A and B are shown apart, each in its own frame.
Chain A
Amino acid sequence: MGTATGPQKKKKTIRMIPQARTPAHEQDPQVRARNFEEVNCGYLVEDAQLEAERCLMCPEQPCVSGCPVNIAIPDFIQRIVERDFRGAYDVITTSNLLPSVCGRVCPQENQCEGVCTVGESLEPVAIGRLERWVGDLAIREGWSNVPYIEPSGFRVGIVGSGPAGMACAADMAKAGCEVTVYEAFHEAGGVLKYGIPDFRLPNSIVDAEIRKLEQLGVRFECNTLVGRLFTIEQMVDEMGFHAVFIGTGAGYPSFSGIPGESLNGVLSANELLTRCNLMHGREFPNYDTPLQPGKHVVVIGAGNTAMDALRVCLRLGAEPVTCLYRRSRAEAPARAEEIHHAEEEGIRFHWLASPIEILDGPDKNVRGIRCVRMTLGEPDESGRRRPVPEPGSEFELEADMVVYAIGTNANPIIGQTSRLKLDRRGYIATDENLATSIPGVYAGGDIVTGAATVIEAMGAGRRAARSMKAWLGLRDTDHIYQERPDGAVATLFGIERAEHGYARVRLPR
């Protein structure tokens, strides 16, 4: 089907496309619950082509505006249909340098796939899986789009090497700036490295994407705690940075303040995940960082971090692993696929239940957790229905480890060490262009908005990059000159006239 080629393509209708969504190959739940290999093994080329056929190429393209970084989604899918896989990669990398990461971790159901026209009558096109397939193919084939970049002479400093910093770094490097990214940990990648576990996003993929940034000329400086080793003001005044972007993330985990939180065995999901992922605690004693996993683990919260914590504990051998969430499954903030995978693997869910006390056993270790059932009342300011405790519904769960995954607060370091204006919750205050109160200093991601998603942080990094380019007086490289397929119309000194005003960028083929 869909054999029409050339300029007069037949308009596809919903009846012409493959009706069912192409399933991704997944590890069996029983097997994967005991290993750290990737759960979703992705598409094969024939799967990708079949799924690509499901895109209607509708003129409205709601998916493009649904994407925080506005990838030209139908364009890249069309290239897959045409078997121009390299072309598909080029289209994606025009707006997103990290397709392998985003294809895995974006909440597509609330973004591109949530507004897909096909989704009105069938399951939406699996845009995320296609994006991931293209990104992985590029890594395997060693493709990278390293343009010849005309140096602009500007130096840009980026604080934090997570998704916001990486996206901003990519855009600024493409604009010819000399970019240095500072990271406090000993490895770059931020939450992609320490937070998201290997079975969802292998660290090798993150490293491959970081290498692409290095090919663009971005320098990563690890073991650098900005604020304390040098301040934001020093970066601007003494270190010669013409612009600075702060993407440090929220990074100060919340606890709920119920009795028993200082018992041994109570920890934040951040701590659990960092010990397991970045510090390789699961390979103790070959790696020195201990993890001491529990047997009966309770995780509080139902976001992506909670799902990661639950599934990490399961893989470390805990049984049972229980999720407590004060609202119902419908309000859970995690990606639909993650909750689905967690359920398949045997995670127990206590929806509509909230902890009220962590119980201590001998030696100040956790023995259990007392909870109360909730019912949903009127919607609160977030639009979600507010949970209300049900009187007399208390119950206890046995637990020797309790993990908090209920969000984060603003990390105080940058605020403590600079005169940047903060908002009343301690996050960095910015205007709509993500400019902070210090000229030339921009901020974005969780340190501005509070905890959000990887792609939202990347979107913020790109938005800040646009503002920084405007502030530095650089041409906006988001808009890329495309050679006309029908050849140059008018030239001047051998340069197409329409090309006038574009930076000369040479893409190696």
Chain B
Amino acid sequence: MTTDRPATGYEIVARQDFSDVTFLLEVRHPMLAKAARAGQFVIVMASAHGERIPLTIADYDRDRGTITLVIQAVGKTTREMQRDLKVGDQLVALVGPMGIPSHIGKARKVLCVGGGLGVAPVFPQARAWKESGAYVIGVLGFRNKDLVFWDDKFAACCDELIVCTDDGSAGIKGLVTEGMRQAIARHPDIEECVAIGPPIMMKGCAEATRPHRIKTMVSLNPVMVDGTGMCGGCRVKIGEVVKFACVDGPDFDGHLVDFDDLMFRLQRYRETEQQASRRFDENCRMRTIPGDAGGAA
């Protein structure tokens, strides 16, 4: 039962489609734009019957009073958002910024790695490091040339930029770890690494930096409901300790994170997620979009 007061929505002021699965929404929320810092996330509800999904803040513009979200249409909710949301529409709920902002320390040379959709949330961190005076090396990974986005934004705030694609259709051929290997070989003095992307990619990045003892921060994306520490659904194993990603994170030391545990826990609602997706396909007779049913961004 919802209260019958008029819904106070959050207006979408811009939308941009990067590919047939990835799209950007710019949403007006001046207070949130003012409070947001690199590494934080929001929780969005697109409709009154919708679920609460966590999305990392990809950018914020304090002058325009907007925040930017980059969304990958993988599950029922995100696909419905991709189909329905247009400029002028309102999100039913938008709450944040959540999580502890990324710590922008004193490192002088930093590697910022983003894979797939993780490219978007790593951007504010790359920019913040640049603003702190660090030498920033960006490594961006995509499946192919058509999925590449924001390489121009990164070029503007990175001292060096390496784009990797699985098939070599843009930049170098290989995974982000290949780009990282080249960067580390050229710059033995990298002090810190930030890696955001699918859990399997972040695990690979953590393993790539471990032998070089480069501090590596990753941003975790477990299943969440409230995002305020109340439900405990997002608990993750960091070394021997259990932490809640929503209030103790989402950034953690990648060398301590138990990624296998995270990946198993992301499967928890796979069955219902598939059921919802099938139902969505049947209802709208929309073509199926490939992609796995992991957590949203």
Contacts and interface: CB of A to CB of B under 8 A. Distances in A.
Contacts of B269: 290, 292
Given A264-B264, A264-B268, A251 B31 contact: no
Interface string A201-227: 011100100110010000010111100
A255 B237 contact: no
A363 interface: yes
B228 A411 contact: yes
Given A253-B231, A264-B265, A184 B77 contact: no
B271 A292 contact: yes
A207 B3 CA distance: 6
B190 interface: no
Interface size class of chain A, counting residues whose CB lies under 8 Å from the partner chain: 35 or more
Q: Which of B49, B92, B231, B233 lies at the interface centre, i.e. has the most chain A CB atoms within 10 A of its CB?
A: B231
Given A222-B93, A223-B93, A287-B49, A184 B226 contact: yes
A289 interface: yes
A31 interface: no
A271 B268 contact: no
A188 interface: yes
Interface string B261-279: 1001101110111011001
Contacts of A471: none
B244 interface: yes
B230 A253 contact: yes
A220 B5 CA distance: 10
B279 A285 contact: yes
A197 B267 CA distance: 27
Nearest to B2: A187
A357 to B, nearest CB: 16
B159 interface: no
Nearest to B99: A228
Interface string B21-54: 0000000000110010000100001000111100
Nearest to B262: A262
A284 interface: yes
Contacts of B5: 214, 220
B3 A188 contact: yes
Interface size range on B against A: 35 or more
Contact of A255 (B94, B97, B232, B275): B232
Interface string A296-334: 000000000000000000000000000000000000000
B255 interface: no
B230 A270 contact: yes
Contact of B49 (A204, A225, A280): A280
List of 7 A-B pairs having minimum Cβ-Cβ separation, nearest first: A290-B272, A271-B231, A186-B93, A288-B51, A268-B232, A251-B230, A289-B51
Given A280-B49, A412-B229, 16 more contacts: A186-B93, A220-B5, A228-B96, A229-B35, A229-B96, A251-B229, A252-B247, A253-B230, A262-B235, A264-B265, A270-B232, A279-B225, A290-B273, A363-B267, A364-B267, A404-B232
Interface of B: 1-3, 5, 8, 31-32, 35, 40, 45, 49-52, 76-77, 92-98, 100, 225-233, 235, 237, 242, 244, 247-248, 261, 264-265, 267-269, 271-273, 275-276, 279
26 contacts: A185-B226, A186-B92, A187-B2, A203-B1, A207-B1, A210-B3, A229-B31, A230-B35, A251-B229, A252-B230, A252-B232, A252-B247, A255-B235, A262-B264, A264-B264, A264-B267, A267-B231, A267-B232, A271-B225, A287-B51, A288-B51, A363-B264, A364-B267, A411-B230, A412-B229, A413-B228
